[in-house]
Chain A
């Protein structure tokens, strides 16, 4: 069974540009999460989808970030326009079912560098 995949693995963009990150969860996992780790800090929660609905987006830093999960399958996280402080590693995770006790499986991450 394929794990959580993310694309691209690395993206370098200039300040002011737009970047779209993609996450494909494990097939059948209703829950999808986005996390971010900026340099020197701990990983922080961004948002949580249940199927195509945003269950919790309390961690989204500002309105330059837009997450979607059309059809309840893969998800995209768009940053527009990107700022220097957006640099970091963006992780996606998924878990099955609706019980919060289910284990989260993480993707390899996308390293975003904004110059």
Chain B
């Protein structure tokens, strides 16, 4: 069974700061997802990656398969980035089930 750990659990940043959220997992995976949930809102998929790095706007996600570790970076953070960021992994080829981390609550202060 895969264990997914995220850090930090809570993060407060000033607007404009560079933010990093980390995710580590215990067992090899076929894919890793970064998800975003705004207060009272649904879950939005930000990235799905199995190797390397992906970038979308001010968001960057990286994964190191050997280290079993992924990071989500937000450049030039903005108050609208305030949300819970969740890491989820899919273990092994052919597996559909996602295992989730507990999430990182980000608050960006103007």
* A→B interface (CB under 8 Å): 31, 33, 35, 41-45, 48, 55-56, 58-59, 91, 93, 95, 100-101, 103-109
Contacts and interface: CB of A to CB of B under 8 A. Distances in A.
A58 B44 CA distance: 25
Contact of B96 (A31, A42, A44, A105): A31
A103 B45 contact: yes
Query: Which 6 pairs of residues, A with B, have the shortest CB-CB distance?
Result: A108-B42, A106-B43, A43-B100, A42-B102, A42-B100, A45-B97
B42 A101 contact: no
Interface residues of B, number: 26
Contact of B45 (A44, A104, A109): A104
Contacts of B102: 41-42
Interface string B62-103: 000000000000000000000000101010011111111111
B95 A109 contact: no
A33 to B, nearest CB: 7
Contacts of A105: 45
B19 interface: no
Contacts of A108: 41-42
A42 B100 CA distance: 6
B13 interface: no
Q: A43, A48, A59 — which one has the most chain B CB atoms within 10 A of its CB?
A: A43
7 contacts: A33-B96, A45-B99, A48-B97, A91-B43, A101-B31, A104-B33, A109-B43
A55 B95 CA distance: 11
A35 B33 CA distance: 15
Contact of A100 (B42, B94, B99): B94
B45 A48 contact: no
A48 B50 CA distance: 22
Contacts of B96: 31, 33, 48, 55-56, 95, 100
B42 A59 contact: no
B35 A100 contact: no
